[in-house]
A = this chain, B = another copy of it.
Amino acid sequence: MAAAIEPIPSGRLFGLGVGPGDPELITVKALRRLRESQVIAYYAGPHKHGNALTSVESWLRDDQERLPLIYPVTGRPPPPPFDYEGTMRAFYDASAERVAEHLRAGRDVAALCEGDPLFYGSFMYLHDRLAEHFDTEVVPGVCSVVASASVLQTPLVYRDQTFFVLAGTLPEADLERLLAETQAAAIMKLGSNFEKVRRVILRLGLGGRARYVERATMANEQIRPLAEVDPAQVPYFSMILVPGERWQGE
Q: Please tell me if A70 contacts chain B, counting CB pairs below 8 Å.
A: no
Q: How far is the CA of A19 from the CA of B19 in the complex (A)?
A: 12
Query: Across the interface, do B142 and A27 meet the contact criterion of CB distance under 8 Å?
Result: yes
Stretch at the interface among A40-48, A119-127, A224-232: A119-127
Which of B89, B159, B246 meets A250, CB within 8 Å?
Answer: B89
Closest to A184 in B: B165
Stretch at the interface among A2-10, A102-110, A149-157, A195-203: A149-157
Q: How far is the CA of A182 from the CA of B162 in the complex (A)?
A: 12
Q: How far is the CA of A118 from the CA of B182 in the complex (A)?
A: 17
Query: Across the interface, do A150 and B28 meet the contact criterion of CB distance under 8 Å?
Result: no
In the complex, chain A residues 126-179 whose Cβ is within 8 Å of any chain B Cβ: 127-128, 131, 136, 138-143, 145-147, 149-150, 153-167, 169-170, 178
Query: Across the interface, do A24 and B32 meet the contact criterion of CB distance under 8 Å?
Result: yes
Query: Across the interface, do B142 and A17 meet the contact criterion of CB distance under 8 Å?
Result: yes
Q: Please tell me if A218 contacts chain B, counting CB pairs below 8 Å.
A: no
Q: How far is the CA of A161 from the CA of B84 in the complex (A)?
A: 18
Query: Across the interface, do B162 and A116 meet the contact criterion of CB distance under 8 Å?
Result: no
Which of B140, B141, B181, B248 meets A89, CB within 8 Å?
Answer: B248
Copies in the complex: 2
Query: Across the interface, do B167 and A164 meet the contact criterion of CB distance under 8 Å?
Result: no
Q: Please tell me if A92 contacts chain B, counting CB pairs below 8 Å.
A: yes
User: What are 25 contact pairs spanning A and B, CB under 8 A?
Assistant: A17-B142, A17-B146, A23-B28, A24-B27, A24-B29, A28-B31, A92-B248, A116-B150, A117-B150, A118-B146, A118-B156, A119-B146, A119-B163, A120-B158, A125-B248, A127-B155, A136-B153, A138-B153, A141-B142, A143-B146, A160-B170, A162-B164, A163-B165, A164-B164, A165-B165
Nearest 8 A/B pairs, CB to CB: A89-B249, A24-B29, A124-B155, A160-B167, A140-B150, A116-B146, A163-B165, A138-B150
